[in-house]
Structure 1
């Protein structure tokens, strides 16, 4: 089976990371697949804006993660410290979570791996 490739966006504020949900029961990092004409960075910025109404002031490629069905091209987004995310398009909820809170909610193993990696990078 061919894996999907996705641009995945990480927004960190202090000790919290932004997650989105379509239904409030399963949470994920913002992102999606690029169109044929888009780079992964362009897709990351577009998806962040489409899902959370946040505009990245800059995006930086962090790393790639190969999940069960999806290859994630992970980007860190620089957003305004006062920008307030709001659910948009197919997203019903967006919320900031700490690493401890993420341990208590439903996320994919890949989302958990990406978030844990980000917090390890921030500690260095």
Structure 2
């Protein structure tokens, strides 16, 4: 099984998604490098993929996908920070939950977003 640091960024009712190919969308994140912690990988990947610098990262939970264990973090980012696609990312964009139903995202991405929201609506 692969491991991945995955980052959830919410602004109001919108979640930040990234796309490598411009059609399939996912949460920012990636594999930690050798001797890198998951939290450090989450911050690095967020910055590399979106140019956003997290003011803080909090561990949320782990999710087991079909081939990957996701170590999921929530990022605290500035209210006016503007994401810009970087590294291997073609596009990054804020999506409302309704808009997420209209684009191609993996089942694991949906599960992570829904789990995050369920934990924050209590």
TM-score range, shorter chain: over 0.9
TM-score, normalised with respect to structure 2: 0.98
* Aligned counterpart, 2:111: 113
Query: Gaps (5+ residues) in structure 2?
Result: none
Alignment pair present for 1:48 and 2:46: yes
Match of 2:75 in 1: 77
1:13-70 CA deviation, whole Å, 9 max, x = no partner? 0101000001211000000000112000000000000000000000000000000000
Which residue in the other structure is 2:26 paired with?
Answer: 28
Output the aligned Cα RMSD: 0.7
Gaps of 5+ in 1: none
Give TM-score scaled by structure 1 length: 0.96
User: Is 1:39 aligned to 2:30, yes or no?
Assistant: no
Runs of 4+ aligned residues of structure 1 deviating over 3 Å after TM superposition are none
Looking at structure 1, the residues matched to 34 and 117 of structure 2 have their Cα atoms a distance apart, in angstroms, of: 32
